[in-house]
Structure 1
Amino acid sequence: MTATTTDTGVPARRSARTSGRLLLAGALAGPIFFASATTQMLTRAGFDITRHPISQLSTGDLGWIQILTFVLAGTGALALAVGVRRTLTEGIGRRALPILVGVFGAGLVAAGVFTMDPEKGFPAGTPEGPVAQMSWHGIAHSAAAAVAFTALAVAAVVMSVRCARRRSAPPAVPGAVLSAVAALVLLVPMSPDRMSVQIAVNGLVAFTWTTVLAVSLRRAA
């Protein structure tokens, strides 16, 4: 009996460690993304967050840094999706949440691969004003980002419902409130005048939510 218990316990511990690593990767995706983006915003000549969205850092000679940042963050979100699937085995959202978080991760990777167009004087030497006609990869970038953040907003709605239904759990109320607020922010229509700032805020809210989700699930696991 002792040997049987040990044999079944080892795979369970290995599975738990694997899930923990996946959730850790998901938790680190947001901090890595914003550490890289903030450093670039402060050091790349001509960049102005009030005029240029973070995605525009993917253009120019140093654009590869932000492209890599997108891909790494997206990969972390994909790892989080797998971690969510392995951790949430029952209750509301156990099937939908991994898919929605996975779509978010895949969208980030696609947003990195398909870069937006240079415009509004960035990178240095680019004509002022918006681009006259978006390129195919600029359209693909915008579509990928829109799908990614919409999927995450829906994931936040699902999680808020899940938390609200689990009234006996101490973190249920703050978890429901956090998820509801994240969903509301991500679903607010873009303002043409403040689009770049709003995109940055959306990114901050999105990655804060995914980080809190990953850390919470990792502690529970």
Structure 2
Amino acid sequence: MTTIAVTVPVRRSSDRLLLAGALAGPVFFASAVTQMLTREGYDITRHPISQLATGRLGWIQITTFVLAGLGGLALAVGARRTLTDGIGRRAVPIFVGVFGAGLVAAGVFTMDPEYGFPAGTPEGPVGEMSWHSIVHSAAAAVAFTALAIAAIVLTVRHARRRALLPAVLNGVAALILLLPMSPSRMSIQIAVNGLVAFTWTTVLAISLRRVS
């Protein structure tokens, strides 16, 4: 009886953590898309999503980054509790946690206004990147690289278990996240990477909830 009494609250707690991880992506993109459509001067072909964190209303995207990052950290803890055996039981939670922490840092340290956004900003790139913009770029790069590594680990895990479709999907996600950035299409590529990353975390969270 004691074991059951202890296990049930832990399982419920893990479910809540995984639910937070599953919601991180939809919340992020609901906020980002709403801002893209309503903020004056924003153009997805010229401005990366991160640039929404600049200007008078930048706090909305900053909050969005932080909440999504906390969702990633919740997913990492939930994954640590759920993946108890096999390849990736230690690595996946660690790299997902790095992803979450990277998003929080990317929100706290904003990029520089440039290319006419926010409205009133001079056209063209910023002359010299600020220190917080450098930290933002580094945090985002580390976050997405860590998530790609987590996807690679799961590719190996599923391949060893002969689960072909999950192995292929994880491999494709990792490949997309690791593709070099094209300077001429960077803002679009960043948006695609974000969509792939958050789709991956949502699917992982849902699948782990089923296991738990």
Regions of 4+ moved over 6 Å = none
Q: For residues 81 and 159 of structure 1, what CA distance do their matches in structure 2 show?
A: 14
Task: Give the whole-Å Cα distance in 2 for the aligned partners of 1:10 and 1:182.
Answer: 39
The residue type equivalent to 1:118 in the other structure is P
Aligned to 1:64: 59
- Map 1:34-183 → 2, pairs under 5 A: 34-167=29-162, 172-183=163-174
Name the CA distance, whole Å, in 1 between partners of 2:9 and 2:130: 47
Query: Is 1:200 aligned to 2:191, yes or no?
Result: yes
Letter in 1 for 2:72: A
Give the unaligned 5+ runs of structure 1.
Answer: 1-5
> How far is 1:175 from its partner?
1.3
- Identity in percent: 78
Q: CA deviation at 1:92?
A: 0.3
Distance 1:177 1:24 in 2: 25
- Unmatched segments (≥5 aa) in structure 2: none
TM-score (norm 1): 0.95
Shift of 1:132: 0.4
What CA deviation, in whole Å up to 9, does each residue of 1:31-68 have, x standing for no partner?
00000000000000000000000000000000000000
| Matches of 2:169 and 2:18, distance apart in 1 | 19
> How far has the Cα of 1:204 moved from its partner?
0.1
Partners of 1:174 and 1:45 in 2: CA distance: 42
Larger radius of gyration: 1
How many matched pairs?
212
SS for the counterpart of 2:128 is coil
Q: Distance in 2 between matches of 1:191 and 1:54?
A: 16
Task: Indicate whether 1:189 and 2:184 are aligned.
Answer: no
Query: Which residue of structure 2 aligns with residue 22 of structure 1?
Result: 17
How far apart, CA to CA, are the structure 1 residues paired with 2:201 and 2:155? 13
* Counterpart-to-counterpart distance in 2, 1:58 and 1:173: 40
Alpha-carbon RMSD: 0.5
Could you state the TM-score of these two structures normalised by the residue count of structure 2? 0.99
**Matched residue, 2:206:** 215
Deviations 1:1-37 (A, max 9, x none): xxxxx22111111111111110000000000000000
